[in-house]
Amino acid sequence: MAKGRKPIPKTQREISISQQEPYVPPFGAPGFQSTGNPNNVGTPNRALETSFRDDTVKPISISIQDIDESVMYYFQNVIKPYVHQNGERVPVPVIYGSPEKWKSFQKDGYYRDLQGRIMAPLIMFKRNNIEKNRSLANKLDANEPHNITVYGKRYSKQNEYSKFNLLNNVRPEKTYYATVVPDYLTITYDCVIFTYYNDQLAKLIEMMEYASDAYWGDPERFKFKAVIDSFATTTELSDNSERIVRSAFTIKMHGYIIPDIPQKTLNSIQKFSEKNKLVFTIEAVQSADTFTPTTTTPMAPPSSQLIDSANVVNNTTNITNVYVNLDAETITFLNTNKALTAVTITSDTALFYGAFLQAPANFPAVNKNSFNYFVNGQFVEPSAVVSFTDNGDGTCLLTVSTSGLGYTLDPTDEIIAIGKFA
């Protein structure tokens, strides 16, 4: 006798969700998601989810640290600041002003190393302010970002180029990568230059001024426009103190960020493939119809009418060869396989601008079973289609079962029907 299964206690999340009764807004209400409570969302649309496993192209992300590194990279590898001291060319080090270093500079007016010696010449910078630039593009809504950029990848490991595909007119499908429009920011950096002499300071200011209004950063990564408007110079020499020659200026970096966060990963499409199309053709052999009837009365073979296969089976016992003469209208009807794209009306209906093709004589009338339906490239099971009717005014109305689909129709969905359209 099999033992009873030990009950599994519910988790805290399951208990919490069972107690929730969220407000269900009417369809299309502004400010509300069509899915209602995000905890009770049904089966996701797998057509919009593509894995990045074994893919050499990864989702794009640009962080604030990347902008900080672009400033450091440009100082060290492009500007390459230097001064002449004691007849030698001395490179000027560039450091990021951490809170401890910046506090030391504000207290003493200069920066000292671990041995207490003044570090000069020296360039120190730190990030001071981040301001959003709303005059440029925006992703519109972080919960459902529709404003995205798309770039394609021609071939992949699954779709390799081959001469066999070229001979058979097979075009490999393209893989596309989508990323949300970035948030454009203006990041302000406070910079300070320390030197021993005024001529050294003037030389470094010239270097900074020449690099202004250029795009700073690593050419193999990201580059951002830097703007420097003014330089404030200070020279101090007092009793029992060190000589101070410095200049303070501000760098405005016009940058952008695409954060690598779970919210972006869950709510925005990242990768999708091109839709493929299969074309089927029908070949018919025109000849005389030959069959053996069960009765003794001779039966004249039809000349230009389509034989009902069910009646032939029921009235014959020995079918040798069956050939059908197809007229032009019948061949056109059988070969018709037209695709139309719909416009979403509500959460379970869609409107197609087209009409049903008239079926020839002895053919069943065109109905919902005469078509195949796709939502965002995903095949819709016939059980999820409630009805598909011809309105008689050049339009057709499709009604689906949202419970059968597992999701509701959205105005941004691509709904396609393929079948007997006129």
Q: What is the pLDDT of residues 11-40, one digit of tens each?
A: 888 888 788 776 666 665 555 555 555 555
* Average pLDDT of the residues in 58-80: 90
Query: What digits encode the pLDDT tens for the residues 119-134?
Result: 778 898 989 999 998 8
Return d(Cα 195, Cα 123) in angstroms, integer.
9
List the beta strands (DSSP E) in 154-196: 175-180, 183-195
Q: What is the pLDDT of residue 298?
A: 45
Q: What is the pLDDT of residue 214?
A: 93
Query: What digits encode the pLDDT tens for the residues 232-284?
Result: 988 766 555 566 788 999 999 999 998 888 777 767 777 777 766 666 666 66
Closest of 336, 309, 327, 344 to residue 422, by C-alpha: 336
Q: pTM (2 decimals)? A: 0.49
Contact 93, 75 (CB under 8 A): no
> DSSP state, 310?
H
* Average pLDDT of the residues in 388-417: 88
Mean pLDDT lowest among 53-57, 240-244, 354-358, 411-415:
240-244
Return d(Cα 92, Cα 133) in angstroms, integer.
33
CA angle 74–78–83, rounded 5-degree value: 105
| Residues in Cβ contact with 268 at an 8 Å cutoff, skipping those fewer than 6 apart | 145, 148, 178, 179, 180
Burial of 357 (0-12, 13-18, 19+ CB in 10 A): middle
Task: Measure the N-to-C terminal CA separation of the chain; round to a whole number of Å.
Answer: 64
Return d(Cα 171, Cα 277) in angstroms, integer.
10
Extract the tokens encoding 46: 């797998």
Measure Cα distances from 404 to 161, 279, 386 in Å: 39, 28, 10
> Does 315 have pLDDT greater than 50?
no
Closest of 408, 403, 396 to residue 370, by C-alpha: 396
* Average pLDDT of the residues in 185-193: 92
Q: What is the pLDDT of residue 144?
A: 74
Return d(Cα 123, Cα 211) in angstroms, integer.
15
Return d(Cα 170, Cα 392) in angstroms, integer.
39
Q: Identify which has the larger pLDDT, 295 or 48.
A: 48
Closest of 49, 59, 58 to residue 273, by C-alpha: 49
Return d(Cα 128, Cα 323) in angstroms, integer.
85
Return d(Cα 372, Cα 398) in angstroms, integer.
12
Closest of 246, 204, 206 to residue 118, by C-alpha: 246
Q: What is the pLDDT of residue 148?
A: 77
What band does 194 get if pLDDT is binned at 50, 70 and 90?
A: confident
Q: What is the pLDDT of residue 302?
A: 45
* Average pLDDT of the residues in 182-197: 90
Query: What digits encode the pLDDT tens for the residues 219-240?
Result: 888 899 999 999 998 876 655 5
What band does 1 get if pLDDT is binned at 50, 70 and 90?
A: very low
List the beta strands (DSSP E) in 261-395: 271-273, 290-293, 316-321, 338-341, 343-344, 349-352, 371-375, 378-379, 385-390
What band does 316 get if pLDDT is binned at 50, 70 and 90?
A: very low
Query: What digits encode the pLDDT tens for the residues 322-361?
Result: 445 677 788 888 888 888 988 877 888 999 988 998 888 8
CA angle 134–140–141, rounded 5-degree value: 125
> Does 311 have pLDDT greater than 90?
no
Mean pLDDT of the chain: 77
Return d(Cα 325, Cα 332) in angstroms, integer.
14
